Chain A
Amino acid sequence: MRLIVPLQGVVQGRGGLILGSIIPGALYYFFQLYLKRCRSAKPNSNPPSPSSSSAQLADLSRSSSRSNLSSRGSVGPVRVSARANSIAKPNASPYYIGLEMASEDPYDRFDNPDGIMQLGLSENRLSLDLIETWILENLERSMIGGADGHLNISGIATYQPLDGMMEMKIAVAGFMSQVMGTTVSFDPSRLVLTSGATPAIETLCFCLADQGNAFLVPTPYYPGFDRDMKWRTGVELIPVHCRSSDNFALSVTALDQAFNQARKRGQKVRGILISNPSNPIGNMLNKETLYSLLDFAREKNIHIISDEIFAGSTYGSEEFVSMAEILESEDFDKNRVHIIYGLSKDLSLPGFRVGVIYSFNTSVLAAAKKLARFSSVSAPTQRILISMLSDTRFIQRYIETTRERIKKMYVAFAAGLKQLGIECTKSSAGLYCWADMSGLIRPYNEKGELELWDKLLKIGKINITPGSACHCIEPGWFRCCFTMLAEEDIPVVIKRIQRVVET
């Protein structure tokens, strides 16, 4: 009988057999339970930034005991939610500190020549004159309506579809094809309009990932992603480091490695977030890379969010290839690709707050349309834009002129930096350049980088974005947006940098 049933020695006698086989079974079961619980708890406690769900747990238990203690007596100040607390904390990132300081004391050639020059905000002011002329000529017609001069008030004042008017979607789809310069056509019924690209990204994030899931994001990336993707959604970002030795190009091996590491940590990766043209570097993904990205996404069964908001702001000889173009030409699984676009960069109208989600996935579209109630574009703005975007002659001229002007500024700015011995990575799109100041920092680490940034901001009165704000793994890189400047401002910038470098 003997030996084989475990615990036979403990529980003797005839009943021993029953207990001897039930107890190990039960133990095994509890062991399972224990392991499962441990494993699921881990991803919450592992990453350095406390995810909101663990904060909630702590919060729940703590506050309930609080109310037990003092159920009637005078109570302390009422508390806000844990997530609000973490959001309300003052900005730590130099990106936001710089923006704030520059907005408090902005440089103006005449009124405030000692103010801070803004090179931290990617906003294009080079072609505002074109927009201004158009608006002066057409505003009345676009808002007040048709030739009879009769104001169609119900087209402006009343409730409109939350995900954008159909006319607006058609106009935006047309603009997107025009901007991308190629033969891609965008289907207006796959568009969801939001009040800016920021909520477009957040909405997609809500739709594609649950709390505690993660996205792979090649670094350096746009500092705003940390807010847009994570704050309210509870999603994590896993940086995938790109290096200067590869010209900061994305490599699938690095993606694969990051994916596997995340899996080992028990984190579920739901997608990749890329910006193409890349922000902050300004390079573009070629067809080859896009294909391998799609392959990778299919292999891992994850989504791709492609942020193409700078698609029209190209100035190099390279051609921009949209994800949409690849999907149209070849037989890929379209359901996993989602494109972000907006009119803030390519039409230089960030104040208008128009963002676009373009997705091939019907569930995502259905959910995003419903979520658009939280970020819809106001009707007067839509009316103005419908007629602006439908004016294809103006748009054509606008796109061409803007490209020329960006190019001119880029050349002048990069040349100015070169005089100081500062090289920029080769870039062909965007409103910025990615400058290598690693020779100027001492010590060669993040601290040195931030010291230089601080000196540039406070002594040089120039606000640029340090690479560390973009999660760049190598210190000493800076993003400089040159489209907020006039051409005459470039020598001033260069002089100010020189002053800081030489002290």
Chain B
Amino acid sequence: MTRTRSSESDEDSSPTTTGGGGGRGRTEMRVIVPLQGVVQGRGGLVLGSVIPCALFYLLQLYFKRHRSEPTPPPQTLTEVSELNRSLSRTHLSPRGSSAPACVSTRANSIVKSSDSPFYVGLKRVSEDPYDELSNPEGVIQLGLAENKLSLDLARDWLAETAKDSILSGGGSSGPLSMAGIANYQASDGLVELKVAVAGFMSQVMERSISFNPSQIVLTAGATPAIEILSFCLADTGNAFLVPTPYYPSFDRDLKWRTGVEIIPVPCRSADNFNLSISALDLAFDQGKKRGLKVRGIVISNPSNPVGNLLNRETIYTLVDFAREKNIHIISNEIFAGSTHGSEEFVSMAEIIDSEDLDRDRVHIVYGLSKDLCLPGFKVGVIYSSNENVLAAAKKLSRFSSISAPTQCLVISMLSDIRFIQKFIQTNRERLQRMYTKFVAGLKQLGIECMRSSGGFYCWADMRGLIRSYSEKGELELWNKLLNIAKINVTPGSSCHCIEPGWFHCCFTTLTEQDISVVMERIRKNNITFFLGFGCYSDTIKSSSHVPLQLFCFSPSYFFSLVP
């Protein structure tokens, strides 16, 4: 509006000045009606007041049309202007070639949404992946939370039983049932799979919590599970509180199609990145002040990317907070079984299990991608006791159901209790060993990690290595690691971490031998860092990457990578 007003006065003043005789008219005919100088005589009054009004109106129109094109958000505006445009178009050329059909504003914003370093790095790796033998110069993947440590176990099992389990419809024995895999099935998952998943979840969480299969909705991966919960708990324009640093894809999963906002709740290194209720409270109030309606809190436990666990006390204060504000809690527990410390994992399911009224506000997201190392299978879980949420989620699962052959496969895999027991145990041991080795390796280089006891990653403190203590410095280091050292890690800024210099490194796609390669590459990169301070000769001798380094330091290249 202010823009309109100021330019309106421009428009008004310019005709007065251009209307040469304005000065004379001013003394006689009272100045005020604009254009009096131009259109003289008695009719001048009429025209003098009609013309500015008309101009004003046209100016309005002009602005409306212009403004609606670049900025999508005000939908009603675009609607009106679009209508006008296509109308006149068709009049002009009823048959001729017309403008290209435009896609929806939301599709446009999804297409345009610049990829954060998280996605840039993933893409880079997929183009040039490291392989010990065939591509030793490739980029090493430390950015994708995928566990390849126990793939051999899954492979052995599949090689033995895959065929039978699909053909028998998931049952351990029995006749071939094509109908069980080819036909339409319940879109929210086969009951047998729900039972099996519920059993697996209690086994993984190692406590006496039992999960009720009828409170489970299965989806094609945890990603749609999160999106469906977001659809069910919040309307367009509502918001979720999310403690930072958080998993970078929440920005897509919670927001893209749902129109829901995320209010980051900063956690700090001084508190070991633990969640504080006062920060939540502050963010809640700020959201309210901005007119945002907060509908819930989204937490990851074990946290991704930090890897710490919420203790029981925090969980109960969190529930108290949610009750006080009357909001929901989405607890993403997808790493529940991938713990490697001595700390005890406490699931939100304890709350759901209780008879309390609060059980209706707690919803758990789970999946088999992490704890069973099967991200390709795309099996996600919503666990809730809120009847409305369950009913809606069941219906929405039509948009992301799991294919039946996969379900049969997973049913028999999960029903093989002995295999699962062995798998969980072995996987934990391997995870623990990798974690210890990786952290020790980083420590030798002078890089400390946050103490963590869950997840496939560590949260490394490279504040000492960044040139300027800012997001820019962090991204510079990230860029160097990616392009010179050829290591893809996730910078804290992608996780909305408020402090620069923290990096998320997943070590479970590596083999043990790879760790030393990573450390070697970082060590070299460290030297190149001091390049700016005069240790030039070392690098020139040792590395063939010098032209690339210089290239990387040029700002244009840097910004082309990091939007």
Query: Given A232-B231, A232-B257, are A1 and B45 neighbors across the interface (CB < 8 Å)?
Result: yes
Interface residues on B, range: 35 or more
Stretch in contact with the other chain, from A376-384, A432-440, A463-471:
A376-384
Query: Given A78-B360, A140-B163, are A350 and B184 neighbors across the interface (CB < 8 Å)?
Result: yes
Stretch in contact with the other chain, from A313-321, A364-372, A397-405:
A364-372
Stretch in contact with the other chain, from B132-140, B375-383, B537-545:
B375-383
- Report if A83 contacts B (CB, 8 A): yes
- Report if A411 contacts B (CB, 8 A): no
29 residue pairs bridging A and B, Cβ less than 8 Å apart: A80-B233, A81-B231, A84-B233, A84-B392, A87-B396, A125-B179, A140-B162, A144-B162, A157-B376, A195-B401, A198-B398, A207-B107, A210-B78, A227-B398, A266-B79, A333-B100, A336-B100, A351-B180, A351-B182, A361-B101, A366-B110, A366-B111, A367-B107, A371-B256, A374-B253, A375-B220, A375-B399, A376-B378, A380-B377
A63 to B: closest C-beta gap in Å: 7
A151 B403 Cβ-Cβ under 8 A = no
B403 A381 Cβ-Cβ under 8 A = yes
Chain A, residue nearest B177 (CB): A132
- Report if A209 contacts B (CB, 8 A): yes
Residues in B with CB closer than 8 Å to A379 are: 376-378
A132 B178 Cβ-Cβ under 8 A = yes
- Interface set of B (CB-CB < 8 Å, partner A): 30, 32-34, 45-46, 48-49, 52-53, 56-57, 60, 75-76, 78-80, 82-83, 86, 89-90, 94-95, 97-101, 103-108, 110-111, 144, 146, 148, 151-152, 154-155, 158-159, 162-163, 166-167, 176, 178-185, 220-221, 223-224, 227, 231-238, 252-253, 256-257, 293, 295, 322-328, 357, 360-361, 373-379, 386, 388-389, 391-392, 395-396, 398-406, 409
A87 B392 Cβ-Cβ under 8 A = yes
A123 B183 Cβ-Cβ under 8 A = yes
Q: How far is the CA of A136 from the CA of B82 in the complex (A)?
A: 56
- What are the interface flags for A184-219 relative to B under an 8 Å C-beta threshold, 1 for contact and 0 otherwise? 000000000001101100100011111111000000
Q: Which one, B103, B182, B360, contacts A352 given CB within 8 A?
A: B182
B392 A353 Cβ-Cβ under 8 A = no
B235 A56 Cβ-Cβ under 8 A = yes
Q: How far is the CA of A405 from the CA of B150 in the complex (A)?
A: 47
Stretch in contact with the other chain, from A171-179, A300-308, A443-451, A487-495:
A300-308
Chain B, residue nearest A96 (CB): B395
Residues in B with CB closer than 8 Å to A6 are: 49
Q: Which one, B46, B103, B151, B405, contacts A384 given CB within 8 A?
A: B405
Residues in A with CB closer than 8 Å to B398 are: 196, 198-199, 227-228
Q: How far is the CA of A264 from the CA of B185 in the complex (A)?
A: 43
Q: How far is the CA of A39 from the CA of B84 in the complex (A)?
A: 14
5 other A-B residue contacts (CB within 8 Å) besides A352-B405, A371-B256, A373-B221: A25-B52, A212-B79, A301-B98, A303-B101, A376-B221
Q: How far is the CA of A380 from the CA of B404 in the complex (A)?
A: 10
- Report if A252 contacts B (CB, 8 A): no
Q: How far is the CA of A87 from the CA of B454 in the complex (A)?
A: 36
- Summed over the interface, the residue pairs from A and B with CB atoms below 8 Å come to a total of 338
B386 A231 Cβ-Cβ under 8 A = no
Q: How far is the CA of A81 from the CA of B294 in the complex (A)?
A: 12
Residues in B with CB closer than 8 Å to A17 are: 30, 32-33
Interface positions of A from 16 to 68, Cβ below 8 Å from B: 17-18, 20-21, 24-25, 28-29, 32, 36, 39-40, 52-53, 55-56, 59-60, 63-64, 67
- Report if A121 contacts B (CB, 8 A): yes
B231 A139 Cβ-Cβ under 8 A = no
A351 B167 Cβ-Cβ under 8 A = no
Q: Which one, A25, A88, A212, A263, contacts B83 given CB within 8 A?
A: A263
Residues in A with CB closer than 8 Å to B399 are: 195, 198-199, 202, 228, 232, 374-375
Residues in A with CB closer than 8 Å to B90 are: 299-301
- Report if A426 contacts B (CB, 8 A): no
